[in-house]
Structure 1
């Protein structure tokens, strides 16, 4: 797997690791460098007597190092990968040392053992399947009762809010708002709680003007979801899945894999990372070269755990994706045949009016859509009186998300020239996540204020 320096640094668990990894990409720090079609390895002299043994499995990529760092990948793994990206000729094409081959063999063995266990478990008996289904149904019914109780509390709270109006909210304590969100979490409606907290951030953690309109939009969506839950049985099946997902019900990967597969060449256009204090989340967005369809793969990490390595912007995969059930499918899971592909033609995107028409169609099908990926072709960042925007050659424009504070950074990358920009459109503004300039793709994930 051949990666650019930018893609390698995107694997770093944090900015400090990326900086430290760059510092390790020096020939003076390494010896015993080697490479094969499967792995990279080398010895890096640290503060101790014995050098650290760093190794990388290229298919993942996956990293291992004998240093005591608890970060993954550590600075030595990043430095080794960066060094290879800059000067592959410094790595000898030799047979794998025992410590590398043993590690690769152990990884392969774990994969085989996992597959063997799955095969040995086999299909459950009819009695076991019936008992499991009955238990799941009882848990589901109990949760649905909890959600209904939480929505009854929410409806009363929203009615009180509508009667009092929004203008005086900033003079009231934020604890009242947070307490309602906490009640929704207690009644297992975490998705609605997250939307309510997001609306609260617009009130209590923002100094921007016009917050009342944005809050009213969020509350309108929350009220619509509450009503949709009460009418769930009358909605089309795909939209039922969207309502349940928005409220906080989690669909399993098996549900997605049971859906028909969609084979294509998939371009990773960008990623978006977020952290709500309990769970870290990263969305990776892919674009189908033949189908023109978007797909989103989600990665999660709980507590202090690090997120898995991202799908790297600019990389290309070939194989089958399975979409989760939805009236406007976006979230997907990799099929068993998905693999890295050789370079393919770079997607060019579309003009603003075409993309807005597509967004309108998606929103009509799925009214709870929070954001739609967009790849805009030949747009120029411009600073207007009301903030930054992207303007197309035809004069059409899109406002940038006011929480994106790096308009000048984006303008500097493009040099003021028309460029292809990827981002998320929420119906009102676009959050830039990547920009392609002079055949180089720059990731913007992590530099926004969210």
Structure 2
């Protein structure tokens, strides 16, 4: 019974399952060497059909619960563990389910990244490639028209045109380009220099369209980057099997969580203690659902291997942790000038790179116009992201120089973690 309770997804399910572990709650129960089953009356007219495959264990129940095992499966197993479920002959619905599971278990296991039907997969990829090419050709024509017409009066027709283009890119199965078009729309009317920002966004879109047109001529790593920016994905199994692997103690520089109505995204930035390599771990969860636990706290080492996704600037990776987290000293950092130079180098490899992790040494929070900046001993400053509250940084610094790890993009610097001594402070 202790083993059954230990399978419960949460204490509430365990308690509810114990309440159902009574013979009066069940009809049509039975057990064989491979399965236990029964019918439990719920609030509806028809009782819930509940079965447990003992080889897993695996659970099947007609109730609407999304928990596995549900309270009915827990109650049935507790009843069985007390010896109150007698042997019987499997009914058809139980036998079919268990047989199907056994059949799937006997199928040869596919290798990581291997697809069930390679020919069908190639045909699907070819059809998508045609859609992408057609959509990007239409986008290229639209961009040429804007060069000829100029941006005079564009703000009046921008919303409808860019919304149509973003929808067209979704239809063309190029979600990455659709996102870039939406970012271009967001630049319109934002400040006095919005035409310059719009031109910058459209230039990057034009660059991805032009790169796709000569994809076969690009170096393989850059071609992978172009494909990824368009929206093609790489299976995690293939990354783990074939991706570049780097072993190190990975310092967690910090994490950023961005929730919206549909999806929560978490970015975790890592830096190798020995290799100095940078890595990005992306985690996603549907709105309202919890994210996976972090492997460590910011400012700690995570021993393990990073398997990097392909690209000209390999950043995104999958972490395979090999040992428990470790304490880490305050990391070495860069001056503001050195930090910006590293960002420029990243753009040389990947012009579409939107974010870059930086560790700044000996910087102080200071006023910068209507906002704030981090200023180093040379007097160079890095502007903080507009709207970011600097009060915690000011409290840690108290006027002294500190080390700050953060994420830089064209809008500004977003601090994640800071150190006044060797103790990290999560921002």
Alpha-carbon spacing, 1:261–1:190, altered in 2? closer, same or farther (3 Å)? same
Structure with greater Cα Rg: 2
Q: What residue in structure 1 maps to residue 12 of structure 2?
A: 66
Any idea what the Cα deviations from partners look like across 1:19-43, whole Å, max 9, x if unmatched?
xxxxxxxxxxxxxxxxxxxxxxxxx
What's 1:87 paired with?
none
Name the SS for the 2:188 alignment partner.
helix
**C-alpha separation between the residues in 2 aligned to 1:348 and 1:373?**
13
Structure 1 pair 109–390 and aligned structure 2 pair: CA distance change class (3 A): farther
Q: How does 1:135-146 map to 2 (within 5 A)?
A: 135-146=120-131
> Over aligned residue pairs, what C-alpha RMSD do you find?
3.3
- Name the count of aligned residue pairs: 336
Structure-1 separation of matches of 2:249 and 2:212: 37
- CA positional deviation for 1:131: 6.8
Matched, 1:394 2:340: no
2:298 maps to what in 1?
Answer: 313
Q: Within 5 Å, give how 1:129-140 maps onto structure 2.
A: 132-140=117-125
1:370 aligns with 2:354: yes
Q: 1:228 aligns with which of 208, 211, 234?
A: 211
Matching residue of 1:283: 267
Distance 1:192 1:339 in 2: 39
Q: What is the TM-score of this pair, normalised by structure 2? A: 0.70
Contact kept in structure 2, 1:242 and 1:368, CA below 8 Å: no
1:418 paired residue number: 401
Alpha-carbon distance in structure 1 between the residues aligned to 2:403 and 2:355: 19
Q: Deviations over 1:15-65 (max 9, x none)?
A: xxxxxxxxxxxxxxxxxxxxxxxxxxxxxxxxxxxxxx9x9xxxxxxx944
Report the equivalent of 2:317: 332
Three-state SS of the structure 1 residue aligned to 2:327 is coil
Give a deviation string over 1:361-420, Cα, whole Å, max 9, x none: 222222222221111111112112263222111222222233x43234533443233211
Asked if 1 retains the 8 angstrom alpha-carbon contact of 2:304 and 2:323, the reply is yes
Instruction: Measure, in 1, the Cα distance between the counterparts of 2:255 and 2:414.
Output: 11
What residue number does 1:292 align with?
Answer: 276
- 1:183 aligns with one of 130, 150, 168: 168
Which secondary structure state, in structure 2, belongs to the residue aligned with residue 172 of structure 1?
helix
CA contact 2:330–2:423 (8 Å) conserved in 1: no
Give 3-state SS (helix, strand or coil) of 2:326's partner.
coil
Deviations 1:80-106 (A, max 9, x none): xxxxxxxxxxxxxxxxxxxxxxxxxx9
| TM-score, scaled to structure 1 | 0.66
Stretches of structure 2 that go unaligned for 5 or more consecutive residues are: 15-53, 59-101
Q: Determine if the alignment matches structure 1 residue 349 to structure 2 residue 295.
A: no
| CA gap 1:109/1:287 in 2 versus in 1, 3 angstroms | farther
Q: 1-side partners of 2:270 and 2:203: how far apart?
A: 30
Is the Cα–Cα contact under 8 Å of residues 269 and 278 in structure 2 kept in the other structure?
Answer: yes
